[in-house]
Structure 1
């Protein structure tokens, strides 16, 4: 059993008093367009896929018990606001929700929570970072945040990710093909031309929505080149990074 919400109350009590160190993973994403070919929930699908693979690696581990919290599928989402399907929340809503979840778990003796995020809008990432600092200041306990955009993580991922062309392109579409292939419109995917956009650089220049970035169909990169095999290989790298973060958090006093 790897999902926290599947436990009973006595099982939670056994979790916090047992000999294995519990680490709880919080998958985070957003509901927003990912081109005309990939699902709105792409980010949460990737985060959850990472968490499930990491939890499986810890099955039977003598020291650490990993469980997955219900995914937080809503994020700060403004760049795609002009496209159908967006459901975003404010920075304050996201901050309060993450803080409340982590504080309640800490109050129950389960302070080791690790945020696993695959929605990279700057305001969203900044809000998660602020939530981490808030929890730590109020609870006196460090929580984890696997921020894939940070250089030491990004440099282990694909060339498209490192180029900043990673919204619904080859990188993300490959991951969804590996996890939920039935949700990808592969006929549309194969017909899409490459859209070369360095998203971080364009955002730093002050461009504030996808059309302004040149993403007129809510994607960049090369989705036509996506494959399930590449997605599986990328998931392996992502899961290794998450496993490392879990081990590090488990060492916290």
Structure 2
């Protein structure tokens, strides 16, 4: 199910097969996620969604799903001042996504779905522009119709390395979560969207002194598995819609 593991003749065969090829591009950012969760939380969630969707559609007679190598770097400025963040400029991200999608389209593989789980506003806006410019699909999880299907914490906007994201990591890569640290963390309620609209652009200024908000101590692998099921359902819907596009 991984595009980069195919041989060149196998990619060529995708164009003449009976199943419509749809390629998934996992995107995220390397940035601090509290004292308990890994820097790569966002791309880990994107990759997990893609893998689950690809497995679910593995035997589908109409669609052939393949996962492109992930783009783990993104626009991440809010966590500056904490160790580990790797920021790339919006222009860099835009060009990279557009170039990847266009290189595939030139070979007849123009059905690409961008799968992102890093929600810093400039990053999201850049991916929206890139998808439009490249003719790719973008599963926009912060759009209301999608957000309403996710957890209460996600909808509240207080969800950076909190219960929502930590549960997803526990469901996929539990060994990457510092459980002892997680259980000691108090809830930090921060309405991130409201803070961003007010012009705040730094986690510390928002009251996130340990680079997290929400309630990570409440996270469970069971919640993560349920959330992954919902995310995968949305992604499968997007894949099917993309496969039907002219």
Pairwise TM-score range, normalised by the shorter structure: over 0.9
Take 1:104 and 1:17, find their aligned partners in 2: how far apart are those partners? 19
For 1:11, what is the secondary structure of its paired residue?
Answer: helix
Unaligned 5+ runs, structure 1: 137-142
Match of 1:171 in 2: 164
Aligned equivalents of 2:81, 2:141: Cα separation in 1 = 26
Q: What residue in structure 2 maps to residue 247 of structure 1?
A: 240
User: Which position in structure 1 is the counterpart of 2:188?
Assistant: 195
User: Structure 2 CA distance, aligned partners of 1:50 and 1:145?
Assistant: 14
Query: For structure 2, which runs of at least 5 residues remain unmatched after alignment?
Result: none
Which position in structure 2 is the counterpart of 1:117? 116
Provide the C-alpha distance between the structure 1 equivalents of 2:237 and 2:155, rounded to a whole number of angstroms: 21
Q: CA deviation at 1:81?
A: 1.1
- Work out the CA distance in 1 between the residues paired with 2:230 and 2:212: 23
Q: 1:49-103, CA deviations, whole angstroms, 9 ceiling, x for partnerless residues?
A: 0000000011111000000000000000000011000111000000000000000
Residue in structure 2 matched with residue 88 of structure 1 by the alignment: 87
In the TM superposition, what is the alpha-carbon distance from 1:133 to its structure 2 partner? 1.7
* Residue 208 (str. 1) matches residue 201 (str. 2): yes
Query: Aligned pair 1:65/2:58, yes or no?
Result: no
What TM-score, normalized by structure 2, do the two folds share?
0.99
Q: How many residues align?
A: 246
- TM-score, normalised via structure 1 length: 0.97
1:52 aligns with 2:51: yes
Which 4+ runs in 1 deviate beyond 4 A?
Answer: none
Cα distance in 2 for partners of 1:123, 1:145 equals 15
Give the match for residue 139 of structure 1: none
- The CA distance in 2 between the partners of 1:85 and 1:156, in whole Å, is 31
Aligned counterparts of 1:132 and 1:231: Cα–Cα separation in 2: 28
CA distance in 1, matches of 2:30, 2:16: 37
Q: Displacement, 1:179?
A: 0.3
Q: What is the distance in 1 between the residues matched to 2:233 and 2:216? A: 24
